[in-house]
Amino acid sequence: MVANESVRKFVKEAAAMCRPDDVVWCDGSEEERERLTRVAIRVGDLIPLDQQTLPGCYLHRSAANDVARTEHLTFVCSREQDDAGPSNNWMAPDEAYDRLGRIFDGSMAGRTLYVVPFLMGPAGSPFSKVGIELTDSVYVALSMRAMTRMGNVALEHLGDSDDFTRGLHSKADLHIDRRFICHFPEENTIWSVGSGYGGNALLAKKCMALRLASALGAREGWLAEHMMIVGIESPEGETTYVCGALPSACGKTNLAMLVPPESMKGWRVFTVGDDIAWLRVGDDGRLWAVNPEAGFFGVVPGTNSRTNPNAMRTIQQNTIFTNVGLKPDGGVWWEGHDDPVPRSVTDWRGRSWNASKQGTVAHPNSRFTVPAGECPSISPERENPNGVPISAILFGARRQKLVPLVYQAFDWAHGTFLGATLASETTAAATGAVGVVRRDPMAMLPFCGYNMGDYWNHWLSMGKRLTRPPKIFRVNWFQRDDRGGFLWPGFGENLRVLRWVIERSRDRGTADESPIGYLPKPSDIDCNGADLPDGAMSRLLHVDRDGWRTNLRSQSEFFEKFGDRLPAGIREQHDGLRQRLRAG
């Protein structure tokens, strides 16, 4: 397949700057996967695992300083700083091209530049988008193959058009002082240098499918969201599609691959996506969702046959593990694995762990990269060019206190407010302190490619176009008791909560009105067969009015930052909550 003139020009100009020894065009073939895998083994990017028990599986060890997204080095380079808004780092486009250009200059000497065409969304869908990533990392090229529809399929979709995302990536010297992830929404361009980590280097994912796509969606009238997508089939055979936004490493993948508890016979769950949803208003006035990706980049620690049996089956083959422990028999291990810690294991840095027992065996943000087709619960609707119709949207976060297990927004505008006021305890998915509560609207704080005030406005305007809008819910699986234990068992048991969500989104289930939204009564959540202590459900659904009044102040402080870009509709919601809490 010969690429069109604009693609060839893009590659030629980048090669002139980065000066690789070689340029290799990826076509997505099986032969190519084998060839690139051999190269990756030779240069030390991949270590083969035991091919008998883990066929097609490899281990990658990253540089020790390059294990998570680096939000402080991530920039939105719009012409006007106000268009990036107060929640993004901003750099002027000229300055960014200049600073990064100096690092890219000659950075690929002695290396190969891989041209990786990729398609986001199903082939043949009018909503799908093409990108080309140029990278000097064979690990990135192979990961992009697992995570996207990669190769000729993308060039075919593009045809003669020059409408594609231009992504340039070089590991350069992996030094943190020369690491930048820059987005140019006005030029549909990404320059990322100095990191090989997924969220920084697999440009199709956060950089394109969220940051650039969110800005594009605002211009074109659709939404790019940090959401899993799941289809839930009832014993009566009725399927309901639900989207859910949760911050990184808060269980989106587990939710997307949920296995119903024993006692919920006849329920089935189908995975459409685990991380990103592109949402449009359909001709029927409903919200339709497509998963633009074609694979999973999931958190490994804590994954086991209780928490996520489908993920365990998914990662038995054709998986790249990054920064997990390696056993002498070529098997892998991580904290929270089904098996006890092995007597002899090499940690994620490649050191023998048992003698020193220093740190964890697997890095807390170690990952699996695997094509979606390996997942036993994958939905056939994943390839539907129109996507799936969404009946409910969940906004979830990690909160030990205050936020009840589940409650429902009064309407779309209130639901937008529930998303805008989302806050979560930080995780290892980004560098920095873990466990600190921070505001993370729609779980998009690190991923919204434009001014968040405008983004909330766009959400409100989407609602006006939806004649049959999905219902919106806030969920929190993470409440703790006084001794620090989780109050709710989570994982497969979350289907009990989703069952109420489904009933409500079909205008059937019952609820009480509270100042924060519609709350289920404890008896509305079917806990038959669940191992819950007496009174637990009342605590899980308790509304702590004093706590919410205090929370109002933190909401105001956050909203202040957006000045006159804060939509009146959000301010009204905040005032409404204040009044309802006062009346209570």
Give the long-range contacts of residues 97-104, CB within 8 A, separation 24 or more: 97/191, 99/180, 100/180, 100/182, 100/191, 100/193, 101/17, 103/170, 103/172, 103/178, 103/180, 103/193, 103/194, 104/14, 104/17, 104/18, 104/168, 104/170, 104/172, 104/191, 104/193
Give the bridge partners for 7, in sequence order: none
Give whichever of 155 and 228 is closer to ligand SAT, judged by the CB atom.
228
- Shortest reach from residue 200's CB to Mn ion, in Å: 13
Residue tagged 């093409």 (tokens): 130
Question: Using the rule CB under 5 A, is 427 a contact of Mn ion?
Answer: no
Contact partner at residue 286 from Mn ion, ligand SAT, none, CB < 5 to 8 Å by partner kind: none
* 464 Cβ neighbours under 8 A, 6+ residues apart: none
SS (H, E, C) 160-176: CCCCCEEEEEECCCCCH
Question: What is the residue type of 405?
Answer: L
- Shortest reach from residue 90's CB to Mn ion, in Å: 22
User: Token pair for residue 581?
Assistant: 């809490």
- What size, in residues, is the chain? 584
- Shortest reach from residue 248's CB to Mn ion, in Å: 5
- Shortest reach from residue 295's CB to ligand SAT, in Å: 11
The residue of the chain with the least Cβ separation from ligand SAT equals: 199
Q: Identify the residue among 71, 275, 381, 440 touching Mn ion (CB under 5 A).
A: 275
Give contact residues for ligand SAT (rule: CB under 6 A): 69, 198-199, 205-206, 248, 297, 429
* 384 Cβ neighbours under 8 A, 6+ residues apart: 122, 290
Contact partner at residue 198 from Mn ion, ligand SAT, none, CB < 5 to 8 Å by partner kind: ligand SAT
- Tell me the number of residues near Mn ion by CB under 5 A: 2
Cα torsion 148, 151, 153, 154: sign: positive
Chain centre distance of CA 267: 26
Question: Using the rule CB under 5 A, is 32 a contact of Mn ion?
Answer: no
Give whichever of 83 and 275 is closer to Mn ion, judged by the CB atom.
275
d(CA 126, CA 259): 33
Give whichever of 244 and 404 is closer to Mn ion, judged by the CB atom.
244
Question: What is the residue type of 163?
Answer: D
- Shortest reach from residue 273's CB to Mn ion, in Å: 11
User: Token pair for residue 45?
Assistant: 């990017």
- Find out whether 218 and 224 touch, Cβ atoms under 8 Å: no
Region 176-205 residues binding Mn ion, contact defined as CB under 5 A: none
The CA–CA distances, whole Å, from 195 to 19, 137, 140, 146, 330 equal 19, 10, 11, 19, 27
Question: Using the rule CB under 5 A, is 248 a contact of Mn ion?
Answer: yes
- Shortest reach from residue 504's CB to ligand SAT, in Å: 28
Question: What is the residue type of 318?
Answer: N
The CA–CA distances, whole Å, from 46 to 61, 114, 138, 143, 419 equal 8, 17, 9, 11, 40
Contact partner at residue 150 from Mn ion, ligand SAT, none, CB < 5 to 8 Å by partner kind: none
In the residue annotation, 250 being an active-site residue is answered as yes
Give whichever of 198 and 419 is closer to ligand SAT, judged by the CB atom.
198
Contact partner at residue 69 from Mn ion, ligand SAT, none, CB < 5 to 8 Å by partner kind: ligand SAT
Give whichever of 10 and 395 is closer to Mn ion, judged by the CB atom.
395
Give whichever of 209 and 326 is closer to Mn ion, judged by the CB atom.
209
- Shortest reach from residue 62's CB to ligand SAT, in Å: 11
- Shortest reach from residue 144's CB to ligand SAT, in Å: 12
Strands (E), 352-507: 367-371, 388-396, 406-408, 423-425, 437-439, 471-475
Contact partner at residue 569 from ligand SAT, Mn ion, none, CB < 5 to 8 Å by partner kind: none
Of 118-126, 170-178, 269-277, 393-401, which segment contacts Mn ion by CB under 5 A? 269-277
Contact partner at residue 499 from Mn ion, ligand SAT, none, CB < 5 to 8 Å by partner kind: none
Question: Using the rule CB under 5 A, is 440 a contact of Mn ion?
Answer: no
Contact partner at residue 429 from ligand SAT, Mn ion, none, CB < 5 to 8 Å by partner kind: ligand SAT
Give whichever of 212 and 516 is closer to Mn ion, judged by the CB atom.
212
Contact partner at residue 37 from Mn ion, ligand SAT, none, CB < 5 to 8 Å by partner kind: none
Give whichever of 230 and 536 is closer to Mn ion, judged by the CB atom.
230
In DSSP notation, 272-313 reads EESS-EEEEE-TTSSEEEE---SEEEEE-TT-STTT-HHHHH
- Find out whether 129 and 213 touch, Cβ atoms under 8 Å: yes
Give whichever of 178 and 206 is closer to ligand SAT, judged by the CB atom.
206
Catalytic residue among 26, 182, 250, 375: 250
- Shortest reach from residue 247's CB to ligand SAT, in Å: 8
User: Token pair for residue 191?
Assistant: 């320059």
Contact partner at residue 297 from Mn ion, ligand SAT, none, CB < 5 to 8 Å by partner kind: ligand SAT
Contact partner at residue 75 from ligand SAT, Mn ion, none, CB < 5 to 8 Å by partner kind: none
- Find out whether 130 and 164 touch, Cβ atoms under 8 Å: yes
- Find out whether 406 and 497 touch, Cβ atoms under 8 Å: yes
Give whichever of 107 and 248 is closer to ligand SAT, judged by the CB atom.
248
- Shortest reach from residue 69's CB to ligand SAT, in Å: 5
Question: Using the rule CB under 5 A, is 319 a contact of Mn ion?
Answer: no
d(CA 482, CA 162): 58
Active site residues: 250
Interface residue list for Mn ion (CB under 5 A): 248, 275
